[in-house]
Amino acid sequence: MDLEAEIRALQLDSADEINGVVTPEDHNSVEVEKLDKAEEDLKDEVQESVPVPDEQQASEDHDQVMLHPVHNPAKAKEKAAQEKAAKEEAEEEAEANKKRHLNVVFIGHVDAGKSTIGGQILFLSGQVDDRQIQKYEKEAKDKSRESWYMAYIMDTNEEERLKGKTVEVGRAHFETQSTRFTILDAPGHKSYVPNMISGASQADIGVLVISARKGEFETGFERGGQTREHVQLAKTLGVSKLIIVVNKMDDPTVGWSKERYDEIEQKIVPFLKASGYNTKKDVVFLPISGLMGINMDTRMGQDVCPWWSGPSFFEVLDSIEIPPRDPNGPFRMPIIDKFKDMGTVVMGKVESGSIREGDSLVVMPNKEQVKVVGIYCDEDKVKRAGPGENLRVRITGIEDEDILSGFVLSSIVKPVPVVTEFVAQLQILELLDNAIFTAGYKAILHIHAVVEECEIIELKSQIDLKTRKPMKKKVLFVKNGAAVVCRIQVLNSICIEKFADFPQLGRFTLRTEGKTIAVGKVTELSSAASSA
Ligand code: GTP
Ligand code: MG
């Protein structure tokens, strides 16, 4: 009997059954290694001498193997392989039946209440108890920041607590009936927009927090406030749906006023439309009080707010729909961070395809081949993971110092393109001091986890804003508000995709001196520099 062929068939079958977790292209390249692993595992199982008490069947087989090792080792191996495959299949089925997972980023102007809402969610979902709340209350009081105690749940470092401002993107988990959520609590302060960009680039949906308190909505929404900048960045970074929570409705200057709520909604809708959101399909508005926990996990009563009969925040989160992602695409995971821990661990969000323990992948742009030895989703070790998951992946074959954030863990057969030049369509938002935008303009490019200095080397054509078509006449410079097609160059090689193929790896922002001056999409990868 051709045992090798049998094992090979088994391995491939079991891989096929989990909905193409391994892509057809990946099959061939990982096949040999998988076979090696299968044989190693088999050896382990066959040699194991202590039977597992509650697995009667398995123990009988072990006995057989131990008693008659010479008579029929091939059959025993075959059986062990079958059992192993069945066990893996059951594990994978359990994982596949898990609730869907969504990353939700909290954005909005400084002090709108993002961290307070995040903290309240953890409290309402039972992850923080009353004793801990009392401790935070005391600490907040000691720092003369009484009302910040809920925010302290998310704002964990000293600087954040002292100043009452989030700096690093806070991360937490909670579940509704249908969905597991990872909360990303972005900072609102304009100094930390790069951190907000990194949070938003990992998110599927956004919660835009708006303070209804007198004066606060106005400051946040005016030019220079972060409400506008965050919305534009979120759209560009691929946040397809927005929940707009009008917060602080309990504040004495608001008192659950319908007029105030309507005023805010009416002012924001045109801006959301102009930023590319379909306000009927992609946007939901609702009033809450994050600090009091009202209209959060359950609907509020008429006694609190007589005019609202709509859903609670958790209900909206639970029912939000985003387009399903294809788990069979070529694997892409932009690396946002890495560290050393029994090998090299890389962190990031899977933007395309699926990953499985034992896979062989490549780290781009270095082209270093690596092997996946462990996958961690939240706190759990998992065998495989699909698109949209935030993961820590332990890999061998590369040192952590050889990885930079912005590198991409990628399929070997269809690796992510590497370029130093590309063509893009840009929307100019606001140039510094109304400068003009022309060839030679330098800025910082933010695309997925990449942050690189770049230079505009050619303006190709200006886009007519009415027809959205390129204009015929030659363009030498453009001003605020213009849309333009241009060629962009970076010093170091970067891994990007055309927006049309992989939106998450093909949209970007340009910033100068800490301000977002343009948002854009990649339309062409420069063929000369591409080394895919
Ligand atoms: P940054 O991280 O700096 O961007 O701020 P943030 O949006 O995370 O705001 P944070 O949660 O730190 O809250 C800022 C202030 O608003 C705190 O004093 C909160 O107590 C207060 N606040 C937040 N939510 C509410 C609310 O629902 N009602 C009232 N009255 N105050 C609130
Ligand atoms: Mg905060």
Q: How does DSSP assign 301-338, residue by residue?
A: PTTT-TT--S--HHHHHHH---PPP-TTSPPEEEEEEE
- Per the listing, tokens 């051709």 go with 2
Residue nearest to atom 22 of ligand 1 (CA): 113
Which ligand 1 atom sits nearest the alpha carbon of residue 151? 11
| Ligand 2 center–CA 163 separation, angstroms | 10
* CA dist list (Å): 325 to 95, 157, 383, 504: 17, 35, 19, 12
Whether cis (ω within 30° of 0) applies to the bond prior to 270 is no
pLDDT at residue 247, as a whole number: 98
pLDDT (tens digit per residue) in 77-134:
788 888 877 776 766 665 556 688 888 999 999 999 999 999 999 999 999 999 999 9
pLDDT at residue 191, as a whole number: 86
Residue 345 pairs in a beta bridge with 339, 394
Is 116's C-beta closer than 6 angstroms to any atom of ligand 1? yes
- Delimit the CATH 2.40.30.10 region(s) of the chain: 332-411, 418-525
Segment 342-356 shows an average pLDDT of: 93
pLDDT at residue 403, as a whole number: 96
CATH architecture of 418-525: Beta Barrel (2.40)
CATH code at 332-411:
2.40.30.10
Is 203's C-beta closer than 6 angstroms to any atom of ligand 1? no
Note the Cα 159 to chain centre separation in Å: 26
Quote the radius of gyration of the chain (alpha carbons, Å).
Answer: 26
Which ligand 1 atom sits nearest the alpha carbon of residue 112? 7
Per cent of the chain over pLDDT 70 is: 83
Is 254's C-beta closer than 6 angstroms to any atom of ligand 1? no
Residue 278 amino acid letter:
N
Average pLDDT, the chain: 83
According to the 3-state scheme, what is the secondary structure of 283-294? EEEEECECCCCE
Residue 361 pLDDT > 60, yes or no?
Answer: yes
Residue 111 falls in which region: left (phi positive, over 0), alpha (psi -120 to 50) or beta = left
CB neighbours of 60 closer than 8 A, spacing ≥ 6? none
CATH of 100-319, one of 3.40.1190.10, 3.40.50.300, 3.30.1330.10, 3.90.226.10: 3.40.50.300
Is 509's C-beta closer than 6 angstroms to any atom of ligand 1? no
Is 188's C-beta closer than 6 angstroms to any atom of ligand 1? yes
Segment 143-164 shows an average pLDDT of: 94
Give kind and range of the element (H or E) at residue 504: helix 503-506
pLDDT at residue 464, as a whole number: 85
According to the 3-state scheme, what is the secondary structure of 410-465? ECCCCCCCEEEEEEEEEEECCCHHHCCEECCCEEEEEECCEEEEEEEEEEEEEECC
pLDDT (tens digit per residue) in 13-35:
333 332 222 233 333 333 333 33
Q: How many residues does the chain have?
A: 532
Question: Which value, to the nearest 10 degrees, does the dihedral of the CA atoms of residues 91, 93, 95, 101 take?
Answer: 180
* CA dist list (Å): 106 to 154, 206, 230, 484: 12, 6, 10, 31
Segment 277-301 shows an average pLDDT of: 96
Residue nearest to atom 15 of ligand 1 (CA): 111
Is 114's C-beta closer than 6 angstroms to any atom of ligand 1? yes
| Ligand 1 center–CA 149 separation, angstroms | 10
- The SS3 assignment for 356 reads strand
Q: Which ligand sits nearest to residue 248's alpha carbon?
A: 1
Segment 329-356 shows an average pLDDT of: 93
| Ligand 1 center–CA 165 separation, angstroms | 9
Residue 421 amino acid letter:
E
DSSP 412: S
Q: Which ligand sits nearest to residue 190's alpha carbon?
A: 1
- Per the listing, tokens 């007589």 go with 306
Give kind and range of the element (H or E) at residue 364: strand 360-364
* DSSP codes, 39-108: HHHHHHHHH--SPPTT-HHHHHHHHHHHH-TTT-HHHHHHHHHHHHHHHHHHHHHHHHTSPEEEEEEEE-
* DSSP codes, 15-51: HHHTTTSS-HHHHHHHHHHHHHHHHHHHHHHHH--SP
pLDDT at residue 39, as a whole number: 37
Give kind and range of the element (H or E) at residue 224: none
Banded pLDDT at 51 (limits 50, 70, 90): very low
Which ligand 1 atom sits nearest the alpha carbon of residue 290? 27
Residue 527 amino acid letter:
S
pLDDT (tens digit per residue) in 224-276:
789 998 998 888 777 889 999 999 999 999 999 999 999 999 999 999 998 88
DSSP 279: T
Q: How many CB atoms lie within 10 A of CB 126?
A: 8
Residue 379 amino acid letter:
E
Query: How far apart, in whole angstroms, are the C-alpha atoms of residue 29 and residue 179?
Result: 34
| Ligand 2 center–CA 141 separation, angstroms | 17
> Does residue 136 or residue 16 have the better pLDDT?
136
Counting runs of H as helices and runs of E as strands, what totals does the chain give? 14, 23
What separation, in Å, do the N-terminal and C-terminal C-alpha atoms of the chain show? 42
**Mutation test residue for ligand 1: of 160, 291, 295, the one with most atoms within 8 Å of CB:** 291
Query: How far apart, in whole angstroms, are the C-alpha atoms of residue 316 and residue 298?
Result: 11
What are 500's two structure tokens?
């049309």
Is 225's C-beta closer than 6 angstroms to any atom of ligand 1? no
pLDDT (tens digit per residue) in 171-188:
999 999 899 999 999 999
Q: How many CB atoms lie within 10 A of CB 487?
A: 17
Residue nearest to atom 10 of ligand 1 (CA): 113
Residue nearest to atom 21 of ligand 1 (CA): 113
Segment 476-480 shows an average pLDDT of: 89
pLDDT at residue 96, as a whole number: 59
What are 326's two structure tokens?
């294809």
Which ligand 1 atom sits nearest the alpha carbon of residue 288? 27
Residue nearest to atom 2 of ligand 1 (CA): 166
- Delimit the CATH 3.40.50.300 region(s) of the chain: 100-319
Residue nearest to atom 24 of ligand 1 (CA): 113
With CA atoms as reference, report the closest residue to 498 among 453, 452, 460, 447. 447
pLDDT (tens digit per residue) in 202-224:
788 999 999 999 999 999 999 87
Give kind and range of the element (H or E) at residue 3: helix 3-17
Q: How many CB atoms lie within 10 A of CB 494?
A: 25
Which ligand 1 atom sits nearest the alpha carbon of residue 185? 8
DSSP 132: H
pLDDT (tens digit per residue) in 437-468:
999 999 999 998 899 999 999 999 998 877 77
pTM: 0.71
pLDDT at residue 72, as a whole number: 72
Is 119's C-beta closer than 6 angstroms to any atom of ligand 1? no
Which ligand 1 atom sits nearest the alpha carbon of residue 294? 27
Residue 529 pLDDT > 50, yes or no?
Answer: no
383, with CB counted inside 10 A (0-12, 13-18, 19+), is middle
Is 165's C-beta closer than 6 angstroms to any atom of ligand 1? yes
Banded pLDDT at 527 (limits 50, 70, 90): low
Residue nearest to atom 13 of ligand 1 (CA): 113
Banded pLDDT at 434 (limits 50, 70, 90): confident
pLDDT at residue 94, as a whole number: 59
Query: How far apart, in whole angstroms, are the C-alpha atoms of residue 189 and residue 196?
Result: 9
